[in-house]
């Protein structure tokens, strides 16, 4: 692939799809939104590409509606996170339960906290997170601290609930 958009694709596509998958829980949808995002990059090449691409992609996710997103997340739980390799059944079950727990915990976060955390895990700097989400640079640390704390609280609460039920 050649040209500036080709370079952007090579550099950011995998990361963008991964973040979108974590955000939506649907691999196909992540691919589609990523494709749409790059199509928009063609129409108006960004100056600061990484924050731009991720901001556009997250906007597209939001535009499609929260209801759809949540339905898709649940779908993914039923689809059992299809993967290429086939681990042992108990290993697979444990992994699926863990991922389902993380998704449920991510659902508890506010949109801003969730997106800041997803971007951080993708290796974004605070400046890039601020640019992507339209936050003040000084607010990023506080946002991430809150997101991480709430995620762990929700995750642990889910685990405890599961243990009590079993």
Partner 1 sequence: MSHLDPGLLHELLDGEIPSTDLAPIQAHLGSCEECRARLEHERQLQSDADGLVAAIELPQVAEQPLSRTPGRTPRLSWVSGLAWAASLILAVGLGYVARGPGSIPAAHQASMVVPESSGARATPATPPQSDTSVPRQAAPAGHLTAPASHDALAQQQKTDTRAEGGSSGTSRREVRDQAAAKAAGARATNQPGAGAIAAAAPAAGRTDDHPSPAAKIADAPPRPTESVTGGAPAPVQPSRNLDNARSTNALVPRNALMATQRLESSGAAGEPITLSDAVRRLGGTLRLIDGLVPLRLELREPYVRVVYPAAQGDLVLQQQLIDGRVVFQIIPPPGFPADSLARLQARVKE
Residue 164's Cα: distance from chain center in Å? 29
Q: How many CB atoms lie within 10 A of CB 152?
A: 11
DSSP symbols for 31-63: HHHHHHHHHHHHHS--SSHHHHHHHHHHHHHHH
- Spatial separation of the C-alpha atoms in residues 43 and 21, rounded to whole Å: 24
Check: CB of residue 24 under 8 Å from CB of residue 30.
yes
Binding mask 52-71 for partner 1 (x = CB under 8 A): --------------------
Taking CB under 8 A as the binding criterion, the range among 1-9, 46-54, 58-66, 157-165 that sits at the site for partner 1 is 1-9
Taking CB under 8 A as the binding criterion, the range among 47-55, 59-67, 113-121, 158-166 that sits at the site for partner 1 is 113-121
Member of 70, 93, 94, 145 binding partner 1 (CB under 8 A): 145
Chain positions contacting partner 1, by CB under 8 A: 1-3, 5-6, 9-10, 13-14, 17-18, 21-22, 27-28, 30-31, 35, 38-40, 42-43, 79, 81-85, 98-99, 102-103, 105-106, 117-118, 120-121, 125-126, 139-149, 151-152, 155
């Amino acid at each position: 692939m050649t040209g500036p958009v080709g370079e952007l694709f090579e550099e950011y596509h995998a990361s963008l799809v991964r973040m979108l998958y974590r955000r939506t829980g649907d691999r196909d949808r992540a691919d589609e939104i990523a494709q749409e995002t790059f199509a928009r990059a063609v129409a108006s090449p960004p100056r600061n590409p990484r924050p731009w691409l991720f901001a556009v992609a997250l906007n597209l996710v939001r535009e499609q509606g929260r209801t759809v997103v949540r339905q898709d997340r649940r779908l993914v739980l039923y689809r059992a996170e299809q993967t290429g390799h086939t681990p042992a059944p108990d290993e697979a079950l444990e992994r699926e339960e863990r991922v389902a727990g993380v998704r449920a915990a991510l659902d508890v976060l506010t949109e801003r906290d969730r997106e800041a955390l997803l971007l951080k895990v993708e290796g974004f700097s605070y400046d890039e997170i601020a640019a992507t989400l339209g936050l003040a640079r000084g607010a990023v640390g506080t946002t991430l601290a809150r997101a991480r704390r709430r995620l762990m609280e929700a995750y642990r609460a889910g685990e405890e609930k599961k243990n009590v039920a079993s």
